[in-house]
Structure 1
Amino acid sequence: MKTLKKIILGITAIIFASCEDVVDVEVQEGPKRLVVEASLDWEKGTDGNVQTIRLRESTPFFNTNTNTEVTGASVVVTNDDNGAIYNFEDQGNGEYLTMNFEPILGQTYSLRIEYNGEVYTAEETMTPVTDITNVFQDRKDGFDDEVLEVHVVFTDPEEVGNHYLFKFQREGDLLPDLEEGKDEFLNGNEIDWWYEIEEDDNTDIEPFKPGDVVNIGMYGISKSYYDYIKILISQLGGVGLFESTPVDVKGNCINITNPENYAFGYFRLSQVVKTSYTFVED
């Protein structure tokens, strides 16, 4: 039904050298760009009023400088259907916060960012998600029948075109795993989505074991975001969502002042259901 995204991002530099000659390898650096992390997630059972948008500047691939937060920008989200305006206040650390956002399923919202004399805009619809009906463990459906896997069960709504983002993170692990899915061949059916961790001797990653706790998020996403995140997951394979990638992946944030100076990242509005599962002896 799916393929686990366990790609490890690697860069191989082949250097021919003798005992006397040194070869310098120059890596071309692209221009700095605005990076927009604007995921407005509305967890079921909450008001969804508190939302944060994060801005930073991109860095060259090998640059370890982490002080790239963007401050002094103007960040505004507007509900295009009812005209409500939400100002995101600068927190001085790259985060922009609002306390009064009102998420409404099916309605369209616009993002406007003013930074360094340029204006960036994006548009997206708040996308619903169905409920998780069961979570359980097994060993029979993964790539290794000796390895524990967690199963997330839900019933896909009958309307055509549902797309999903799954986030799995074992407590104690540094980064989550992301997987994308759609209902192309499963529309209106009960879906059993499984996830396992394969052993990796190079990174000391171990499979699930009894006592492990995995936190799970299932997000309803638009088709356009599905297309975007599918490419991004295939490139990153475990690297942070907004780190440098081998090929530029353009999101939906458009620079209307200077189109050539486009931004990275995406403006997304998703309803999400969250749960956790603790593995037991079987």
Structure 2
Amino acid sequence: MKNNIKLATILAIFITFISCDDKIDVEVPEASPRLVIEASLDWEKGTLGNDQTIKLSTSTSFFENTLNTSVIGAMVKVTNNDTNAVFNFVDQNDGTYTVNNFVPVLNGSYTLEVVYDGEVYLATENLTPITGINEVFQSLEGGFDEELLDVNITYNDPAPLGNFYMIRMQEVGDLFPIIETRSDEFTNGNVQEEFFEKEDDDEDPTEQFNPGDEVNIKLYGISERYYNFITLLIEQYDSAGNPFATTPAEIRGNCINTTNAANYAFGYFRVTEFDQVDYIFQ
């Protein structure tokens, strides 16, 4: 009897492994490639801001192995709508388009025009100013864990309501930065303080901030529309893997295809002033 039970168990396990060999084909919907416009004209506070770069590429399907999606042969220009000055970006034949004579004007209105594959894409933004970073310092009290080092910056928010900010922090050696957005809806006209702290990791203490670590922090003044756009992107990124998160939705930027509205582009055209600071933990 015991031998029969053992034999039945072995057969059940064998059948289970055999049944797992069945091939399952899943049809994944594919979309046609779209133009991707990476047009961030960022003017560092205290510099001329003449050198600017715009990058064009095409989107690919999830399982596509194409490595080079650069777009060459497009026409790219930016116009100052207040002065009618035109800045023609030169094709570098690697997907980037550059100028060395751009003239940034605070609060100025700019329009991007991209002509690619017989279609015209337009986007308009204002150059949003920034007051600048007041100070940068480290502490143990500013974060969530009083035993971990964090880095802090302060900056002044102007009195008029309706200012929006993006803060980008990247540690030297990290592949990706940490990006956060802020609105002055509840803090208008006050000194703002932001902190960055890495989570505690008992298995790898180097994951936390330690003396000698170097970080770069950039503070951008951004428009309300870009604030809404990038905040949604951050929320979707942070909720990845959360089974209770809202289903991700396609987020469109401000680049409109005026020739064929259905063939819209991905990406965003922004024009900002930013301030930056480097800090080494002590």
TM-score, length basis structure 2: 0.87
Does 2:216 match 1:191?
Answer: no
Q: Could you give the per-residue CA deviations for residues 72-108 of structure 1, whole angstroms, max 9, x where no partner exists? A: 0000100000100000000000000001000000110
C-alpha separation in 1, matches of 2:32 and 2:205:
36
**Considering only CA atoms, is the larger Rg found in Structure 1 or Structure 2?**
2
| Aligned-residue CA RMSD (Å) | 2.1
Contact 1:198 1:205 survives alignment (8 Å)? no
What aligned pairs does 1:1-282 form with structure 2 within 5 A after superposition?
18-199=19-200, 206-237=207-238, 246-280=248-282
- Partner of 1:36, secondary structure, is strand
User: Between the two proteins, what is the percent identity of the paired residues?
Assistant: 51
C-alpha separation in 1, matches of 2:274 and 2:131:
9
Report which of the two has the higher share of helix.
Answer: 2
Query: Which consecutive residues of structure 2, in runs of 5 or more, have no partner in the other structure?
Result: 1-17, 241-246
C-alpha separation in 2, matches of 1:88 and 1:246:
34
TM-score, length basis structure 1: 0.87
Contact 1:78 1:85 survives alignment (8 Å)? yes
C-alpha separation in 2, matches of 1:151 and 1:48:
27
Q: State the 1:131 CA deviation.
A: 1.5
Contact 1:131 1:154 survives alignment (8 Å)? yes
Alignment CA distance shift 1:262-1:157 (3 Å): same
C-alpha separation in 1, matches of 2:223 and 2:96:
24
Alignment CA distance shift 1:270-1:201 (3 Å): farther
C-alpha separation in 2, matches of 1:205 and 1:73:
45
The one-letter amino acid of 2:97's match is: Y
Range with bigger deviation, 25-34 or 245-254: 245-254
The one-letter amino acid of 2:255's match is: C
C-alpha separation in 2, matches of 1:142 and 1:46:
33
Alignment CA distance shift 1:75-1:276 (3 Å): same
C-alpha separation in 2, matches of 1:73 and 1:252:
19
- Length, aligned pairs only: 259
Q: State the 1:177 CA deviation.
A: 1.1
Q: State the 1:66 CA deviation.
A: 2.4
Q: State the 1:175 CA deviation.
A: 1.2
Range with bigger deviation, 198-207 or 71-80: 198-207
Q: Could you give the per-residue CA deviations for residues 103-158 of structure 1, whole angstroms, max 9, x where no partner exists? A: 00011000000000100000000000012111111122322222211101111111
C-alpha separation in 2, matches of 1:216 and 1:194:
10
Q: State the 1:202 CA deviation.
A: 10
- Partner of 1:180, secondary structure, is strand
